Amino acid sequence: MKNRQVQCSDGVPEFTGEDFFRPGESVYIHMSTEFPDFVGVVHKHKFIEIVYIISGQAVHVVGDHRSGASKGDLFIINYETPHAFYGDKDFKEEFISYDLMFTPDFFNLSMIDGANFESLGSSYLFNSLFPENQRFGPDLQLTGSSYNVFGDIFKKIYLEYKGREKGYIDIIRAYVIELIIKMFRKMDTSAQQSISYRQARVVDSALSYLRENFNTHVTMKDLANRTFLSKDYFGRMFRETTGLPVSALLQQIRIEQACKLLCSTDRKITQVAEDCGFGDMKSFYNCFKKTMGVTPGEYRNAAVQADQAKT
């Protein structure tokens, strides 16, 4: 790192590529131990920084947000984002990280016209990896990354940069592209898992509500309103998760309850239908026979005969 930095009006040091990059280059990498005075200093920069934690623990501060950092974690810090890593000096391992810095033109593609990492999302190279509606904030963290996945790539970038053998910039460019592709593969997997988990929770809640209120007039709109989702979106999510639309699953629950009442009580069939939420006998009979293959009366008689046979 060269001995020059720009003081911004807010008093936070702002580094540019000239502070790190070799002449004619737009990429740089070092290990945090090479510049120990750089750790624990709030700063910002006019380039993209990707930090990968090799060992130890730290706290990463971005504005008012604080997050833990440990081995295997990866951080992407956007342009002009004030931040700092504060190493935990009491931890058994020293805090060490790889710090990779580059500007979008490092890829030598006339594809990025903005100063934000978000621009990569609309680029030709990465448009298949970024949904159009995906946006990044000032920083992004991937936790628990396998060292063998990201750490080895950082190590290869570091060794190429230090070795400066013929073609090293082209090789580093390829490694950085590999890193970003694998990084967003992990993001996509994590996002899908997160979405699946949230969907499961929403649908489980809806199923519990249906089981508790099957005898009332429940509609898909009611369930969607309870989850603050649109009717169409909730309906698709419910069907994808359960394999049935809301109306079919509600009927299934009602018929299950009707079977229990027919077997365990002597209520009239009309009362059973009403107690299970059916508005008229015709729909109850049609639904029951379609589901069970027999009428409610035939089902009850068969259950009575089965009980008598046991005694």
Domain architecture of the chain: domains with CATH: 6-194 (2.60.120.280), 213-306 (1.10.10.60)
Three-state SS string across 64-98, please? CEEEEEECCCEEEECCCCCEEEEECCCCCCCCEEE
Distance in angstroms (rounded) separating the CA atoms of residues 74 and 97: 9
C-alpha closest to that of 46 among 93, 116, 113, 147? 116
Query: Exposed, middle or buried: residue 46 (CB in 10 Å: 0-12, 13-18, 19+)?
Result: middle
Distance in angstroms (rounded) separating the CA atoms of residues 114 and 129: 18
Per-residue confidence in pLDDT tens, the chain, 311 aa: 555 555 564 778 888 888 899 999 999 999 999 887 777 888 888 888 999 999 999 999 987 788 888 898 888 887 778 899 999 888 889 999 999 999 877 865 443 333 434 444 434 334 333 334 333 444 566 665 555 679 999 999 999 999 999 999 999 999 998 888 887 777 666 555 555 667 778 888 899 999 999 999 988 888 888 776 788 888 988 888 888 899 999 999 999 999 999 999 999 999 999 999 998 899 999 999 998 999 999 999 988 887 777 66
What pairs with residue 246 in β-bridges?
Answer: none
DSSP calls for 139-160 = EEEE-S--IIIIIHHHHHHHHH
Phi, psi of 104 (to 5 degrees): -55, -30
Tell me, what's the pLDDT at 287?
A: 93
What pairs with residue 55 in β-bridges?
Answer: 96
